[in-house]
Amino acid sequence: MTNRNDSAPPRTRTGLALALGAAVLLSGCATTANPKDPFEKFNRAMFSFNDSVDRVALKPAATAYKNVTPTFVQTGVNNFFGNLTDLWSSLNNFAQLKGQDGLNDFMRFAVNSTLGLVGVLDIATPAGMRKHNEDFGQTLGFWGVPSGPYLMLPLLGPSTVRDAGALPADWWGDPWTHLNDVDWRTGGIVLRAVDQRASVLDASNLLEDAALDRYEFIRDGYMQRRSSKVLDTDKAQERADKVHEKLEKVQEKVESKLGVKLGPKPAPEDGADESATAPEPGSAPNNPPVPAPVSSEPARK
């Protein structure tokens, strides 16, 4: 059923983001020496607000959801909303000139939306189609837009100036926000938030018990993770692992054809192959020559 206020939530969120940006610019709260967090005073206030909301409402709801809801239902909910993000991730991959990843995410969406019962079942991952989770903030970063200072958004959590500016596009790219029925759309947004909070309950409990500044821990972790995602650091490591596997296979084929052992297989830099240093049985030890002892007496003429 169509309602004349169907588009209110997206507009409200966009207005909230714009108002927040204006508030940050006008607040004059640059009171820290950290260049990545010049709005620390404002951010800490928002962090305290979000933490209060979480303790009063979100965490209790997520705890009850995790304890009462069967695991397979939680998995289905997580898969369903995760499937919706694959389509927008595909478009952002194409915008970043990563055609293979874009096609991969589109195929994930197509396969899971059909064979996976509208995404409730994740068939694509076991089939070898890796999930990427690309958003418009990462696309802006790919094209050289700097992240800007760290920014704690009310209710939405950690972000940066760049990522906060990209939120309207990300909201538009979420198929769920285009649902006409207000009740279904709002219920889905709440269910997604509770499900996501339930998935990190154990980690958040450990963080609360640790004796550290939770604000700084979350800020530094978020900034490092976002930088890694924009620069595709995790993909670089994945490519290095694949190259290493191919080198091992090539060496095995050469050894089998020649009937000889070429030596230790190439190993990653962060791992040591013990067989590379251990001598074979019956072979002479490969030790460097020991220098002759030097006499402490003066040389005779």
21, two tokens: 């940006």
Q: Which residues contact 141 (CB under 8 A, 6 or more apart)?
A: 147, 162, 226, 230
Task: Return the amino acid letter for 137.
Answer: G
Q: pLDDT of 94-128, one tens digit each?
A: 999 999 999 999 999 999 999 999 999 999 999 99
**Residue 160 pairs with which residues in a beta bridge?**
150
DSSP three-state, residue 245: helix
80, two tokens: 């369903």
Instruction: Return the pLDDT at 7.
Output: 41
**Residue 157 pairs with which residues in a beta bridge?**
153
Q: pLDDT of 249-291, one tens digit each?
A: 777 777 677 776 665 555 554 444 444 444 444 444 444 444 4
Determine phi and psi for 150, rounding to 5 degrees: -65, 145
Instruction: Return the pLDDT at 213.
Output: 87
Determine phi and psi for 157, rounding to 5 degrees: 90, -155
**Taking a C-beta distance cutoff of 8 angstroms, is the pair 138, 101 a contact?**
no
* b/e map 263-299, b = 16+ CB within 10 Å: eeeeeeeeeeeeeeeeeeeeeeeeeeeeeeeeeeeee
What's the mean pLDDT in 227-235? Answer: 80
Instruction: Return the pLDDT at 33.
Output: 64
Instruction: Return the pLDDT at 249.
Output: 73
Q: pLDDT of 36-47, one tens digit each?
A: 899 999 999 999
The CA distance from 163 to 136, in Å, is 8
